[in-house]
Structures are given as C-alpha cells and as structure tokens.
Structure 1
C-alpha cells in the first residue's frame, strides 16, 4: 500500500463509529422512502432485461418510491416480459419497451438507469447514459477492459453523474467494521491475504452457427465485440469468451476482490502475475483453475479460483439473512482470509460476516472477535437513490469499482500471456514495458459501437 493511500485509509476509518464510516452511507432503514407520491418518485429505466436486470427492477419498484418508464433489451420477448411484470407492480402502468437503449436515454422524465447487460456493454451504455444526463446503477464488473473503465470514470466526473457499481458489500455495516478493525491495528501487522472464488461450473461444447431467434437483435447484442454470426454458445455462455468477458474472476470473483480491497485499504498493485488453465475440455476460453498474485509495498494478496469444485459452496441465503450464523469457512466458496500477526480474519461477502481466530486450543479454534450482517442489497439500492437526491458520491462509486476490476483485467492479461509478470504504473494504470499486454488494455471496437477517446 502506498503511504498516501494508507494515510487516507486510516483517516477514513479510525474516527468511524460502529456501522458508520466517513465516505460511506449506511441507513438505519434501507426502505426509508416508501409509497412516495407520484411527483416525488425517482424515475428509472432498465438497460438489459435478463435475470439480474429483472431482479433489480422488481426490488427497486417494490420500494414504492421508484417508477420505471422504459425497458431496453435486444431480446424483444425478454423486455416485453419485464414490462408486463412491472405493469403489475405499477398499478397497471407499463413502461415503454424498446430494443434501442438510445430511445430510453432520450426520455427526459428518466432520472437514472440500471445497466444490467452482459459485460461487454456495461461501459458503452454507462457512458452514453452519463452524456444524456442520467445517473447510473451499473452491474459488476463495470468494464470489459482496462481502458474503457477509466473512460467511465471520466464520463461520471465530466457530466457530474452518480454512478454506483453493483458491488453491494461496500454498503454493509459489518464490512465497514472489518475495515475499521484492521485500521485500528486489532489484527496486528498484515502482510498477506487470500481471496477465494470456488464453485462448480462445467465446460460446454461449441454449437454451430445458426439464425438468431426472430425477436432477438443479434447484431445489437454482439455490440462492440468482433463481427460474428449468431451462435447459441456465445449467447448463453458469454462469460467464458474473451470477446465478451474474462471468466469467473471478473464475473463472480470481482465481489471478493472489491471487498478485500475495501477492507485492506489498498488500490493499485505494483505487479501482477497469474497462471492456471482450462483443464476440462470444451469451448470455454477462460480458466477453470487460476491463481493471481498481487504485490504491494508491504503486502501480498492472492486470488485463487477453481470451477471444478461443487463441494465448495457459496454462502447460503439462510446464512445471509441470519443474524448469528457464520459460514463453514474451510468450504466457503467466496471467503477472504486476512493474515495478521495477532489473528486470522475470515470474511464473507453478501452477509457472511467475519470472525477473527486467535491461537487455537488443542482441538478447536478460538474466536477472538466477530460481527455478523445481512445481505446488503437493500442498503446498496437505498444508497444509490439517496445519492440521486443529494448528488453525493455513492458507496461503490465508479472509480472504486474501476480500480477493483483492474485487478481482474491485469490478471487476465498475465494469464493470457502465459503467466508473464506485469509491472503496473500506478499513475497511468498501464502495464510498463510490455507491448503484448498493452494490446489487451483496450479492445478494438466494432463500428458503430465505439467508445470515443473524448467522451
């Protein structure tokens, strides 16, 4: 960690009261504005009506202080289904449906948009929304590549927009408390941490090209990615193709990376190295086994991924919503382990809580400290809406989300280069002295789906 960043980190956390930290907004009631009059409601639009997009809209509209005016998706059937579901929640008032999200952005009544498309569309839709004067809730990961992530930050600042990334853990009291625990020195010296992302996710065969479904605009969905004929494998398994994403480090692992970075108080690594492979045969390009090593001035952090381990489980909804239940840490798929001279902190995302273990007894562990919390999705949505009203920076501001996803981008570059160690320029965010890595720093955008140099 740089000394400048450490001082800022300590200043933000040491004076924070329980559950409240400078720079973060945590409300006692995450549903504080309910059944608002129509004139007081925040009007939103949805870009990307898939599973996550639909869930977000249903949660937002259920609050009572949000109204949806438009839904955009390249799949006509999917956006029509979400429009119909919203109509039931909005007293029969259905949002307008469109396959062209620029039509949504032209609607002057809309205050903000949710971007829940596949990863390769996040940056372009967010930048266009900022240019149109809309605030944005963009799902993780915020970007497909390092260059466009910085452009998202530039757009948010230039157009004075609230851009919240869907990394909910920054809105959880227990995570703010964990950050303060480290800043107060209660874990002692910390020089090593491990981030895990383990689950079962099988490889798949490549299907032949075919005609797209009748109501599906394949060219629009493919967007800035290279020209290609419709292929159901691309459409349904896009997470594992470089043209659309970077595998599970950027899909699911970004939650743990962002949480670890938040609690540890670190920003850009000095260097990054990643190795691994896709051992199970199939069409996927991204690895099913991966290790990344991030070096800092006084700390080393690792990221470890396995996708052939279904016996390693994500934190269950029962634990997420329980005030006193913790994961079984050895088989917790998304745990973070922080090694201090005075204890080991095991930290779980999405309501998993944290426990600090001291020197064990003969047969059992010794828990020194602990704090539980609930899944902070409601608090994260509340924070976004409050920031629309106040114009303050949100808990998961786009710049923080960008720095976090850079960790995944750097690891992907190293992995794709056969495990080359990448040296990072912390001022420019670029890779030093490696032309091959810099070829992956920015994609070649397919016209007309281009992010301009000047946003």
Structure 2
C-alpha cells in the first residue's frame, strides 16, 4: 500500500521492493508497476538497497523488531527514512534512532500519519487555543474483533520465506505457523501488542493536543481474557499516564467492538468548557450541556503524510512527525507494556523519560540481539 501510494506521488520512483517472502515481494512489485514504469526490482535483503547511491530514502514497514535497527542502518548509509509505527521494539532502540538521525543529519519521519490529516491538525489547534477551556485529560481507545492466535508447535518454514532474515535482529527461534505474517504482533519477542500496534496513533494525538512529553507515573491493568492460546500480549488493556497537571488514559480491547463516544477508534479531550472528540479524520465539539456545537469532517489515509516526508527530503518542508516526537509517543507504549509485564506502577523521570528506582522494569528498556545485529550509532 505505502509503495503504491509513494509511486503515485509526483517525482517519486520506487526502485526496490524488499520482502523476505518472495511471493509478497512479487505481489507488491506488481501493484507498484500499475502506477510506474519500469516495475521495481525485488530483493529479500534491504542491505543491498543501502549500497545503491541512487536511492535517497528507505520506507520501513517491517515487523516491529526490525523498525529501529533497519532505520539506524539506513541513516548510517546516508538514506532518509520513513519508519512505520512504532518506531522501536523497546525504549533503547528509540533513543538510538533519534541519535542516528541527528548524527547523520537525516530526515526520519514516523508513520503516525494523523499528524498530516487536516481536520486533526485543526482539532489540535482548537484544543491548544482553548476551544474546550483548560484540558483536564485525554482518552484514546482502539477496539477490534481479532481472531484467536491459536496454539502451534514448530513447523517447516514455507517455501519462499527467508525465516532467518525475517528474524533479523531478534535471537533465533523455531518457525511456527501463528507468527508470520501478522500474529507476531502478539509476541513480545517481535511485537509490542495492541498498545504499540494501534495505541501509538491515539497516544500520539493525545500527547500532541495536551502538549506533554514524558509522564511521571504509568499504571497498567488488563490481561489475556478472551482466548487460551499462545498470545503473550494483553487482549484487554487499560493504561494511565500521569503528567502532573493532566493525564491520559488509553484503553484497548482487541476482541470486542464497542468503543467510546460512538467510535471504535478515537481520541477525546475533556476540558473545563467542553469536550473535543476525534473519530477517524473528523472531529466534533460538545459543550457542557451535551450539545454538539461544531463538527468538521476531513480526509485520512497515508498520502498527505508521505507527501510531507518527500517534501522534507527535498528541503521544502519540516517533517510533521519527526522521529523525536515519534519516539516520545512510542515510549508511552513501551512504558505501558513494561508496567503490564512487571505488574506494578512505573515511576518516570519527566526530564528524560527514564524509569526511576525499578531495576526489573529497567531491564526491559532494551533487549538481547542476534549476534551481529546489535544497533549501533
């Protein structure tokens, strides 16, 4: 999807499609060939792309454990980067990615595309300008009806899949049928759960609207309640982020469609004079008498965000989701997951975002890597 949309932008040529699954690579190349000529080349190893001096930028839409390591290598090779959310598998990777972008002076755009949606930009401006009075709190939520992950044992690697390269920076594990190509999200070894998968979008908007950076305290509740299977991450999750004068609540239910404010996915800002509710690319304002006083609809999608990235690479604009902002929003997800995994409240240094006084929680700040794949700046 991203490759096809990029190829449709003026002055953009997609030279390569990289996928460790040969069938997926061929399918994506064919989709791009429908909007550009010639068709892109395919490869199973993105490092070949980094050696090509004609390539200006790399778009990383791989599993979470690949995002930061690949982006750091791309920066070191002189490439600009569009990295999908979440920008890291753990907090340390996010710190390193920001450092790599600064060291090599590269544009790194985070895939939190709501920062490019016109109605959302307008909504955030209204919140900051006092349209709902003083914001007291923000809530983000995501609801879905996902299938069971199932129980699987070791199985033969499918033909055409480079399982070793798929694992990349992650320590090696046997192939199982409930990992590739999507359910890896629900295993800590490769994914960050629903909080990192979709929660990062709403948390980014919450943080943007409230103008906050690092929380002082993070509390998590929830667990795996729907299915008894291999899934490790919670299917029902509520996280609270306290910032002192305000706070954010995120709630995710991966197996239940009912959300808040008549929306399965959204963000709400609650203020002293009203409420602003974001639903997709639209928003509405409700006053304290529960009357809808304003409603604005707008487009969503990826195109505007990709165009902003291209404009930034050309020096014509600033990236609206610059990687430091992406890291701060992703860090909220990591802190929420760490609170869940340790089973206790996490205290945070609001100046640095670092965990305070909890060695066990701090041990989840980074991870072990496959030999030779340790990210370095």
TM-score (norm 2): 0.95
Give the conservation status (yes or no) of the 8 Å contact 1:175–1:263: no
Candidates 283, 292, 295, aligned match of 2:242: 295
Deviation at 1:311, TM superposition (A): 4.7
Does structure 2 conserve the Cα–Cα contact (< 8 Å) formed by 1:72 and 1:99? Answer: yes
For the pair shown, the structure with the greater C-alpha radius of gyration is: 1
| Residue 391 (structure 1) shift | 6.6
Deviates more, 1:142-151 or 1:176-185: 176-185
1:373 paired with 2:298, answer yes
What root-mean-square deviation, in Å, do the aligned CA atoms of Structure 1 and Structure 2 show? 1.5
* Mapped partners of 1:226, 1:94: distance in 2: 34
Question: For the residues of structure 1 that align with 2:100 and 2:82, how far apart are their CA atoms?
Answer: 14
* Residue in structure 2 matched with residue 395 of structure 1 by the alignment: 320
Residues in 2 aligned to 1:107 and 1:138: alpha-carbon distance in whole angstroms: 19
Map 1:237-248 to 2 at 5 A: 237-248=183-194
Residues 219/298 of structure 1: CA separation in 2 closer, same or farther (3 Å cut) = same
Q: How does 1:310-329 map to 2 (within 5 A)?
A: 310-312=257-259
**Cα offset, 1:186, TM superposition:** 2.2
Kept in 1, the 8 Å contact 2:140–2:267? The answer is: yes
The answer for unaligned runs of 5 or more in structure 1 is 1-54, 313-328
SS at match of 2:178: helix
Whether the 8 Å contact between 1:176 and 1:263 is mirrored in structure 2 is: no
Secondary structure of the residue aligned to 1:427 is: coil
Match 1:83 to one of 15, 23, 29: 29
Asked whether the 8 Å contact 1:162–1:392 carries over to 2, the reply is no
In the TM superposition, residue 154 of structure 1 has moved relative to its aligned partner by: 0.6
1:200-249 residue CA offsets vs partner (Å, 9 max, x unmatched) = 11322121211212211101101222221111112241000000112111
1:159 partnered with 2:104:
yes
State whether structure 2 residue 279 is matched by structure 1 residue 334: no
Contact 2:215–2:353 (8 Å) recurs in 1: no
Number of positions where the alignment pairs a residue of Structure 1 with one of Structure 2:
375
SS in 1 for 2:319: coil
SS in 1 for 2:180: helix
Shift of 1:415: 0.3
Does structure 1 retain, via aligned residues, the 8 Å contact 2:206–2:248? no
Q: TM-score scaled by structure 1?
A: 0.80
What is the CA-CA distance between 1:370 and the residue it aligns to?
3.0
Q: Does the 8 Å contact 2:335/2:346 carry over to 1?
A: yes
Unaligned 5+ residue runs, structure 2? none
Name the CA distance, whole Å, in 2 between partners of 1:427 and 1:267.
9
Q: Match of 1:356? A: 285
SS in 2 for 1:233: coil
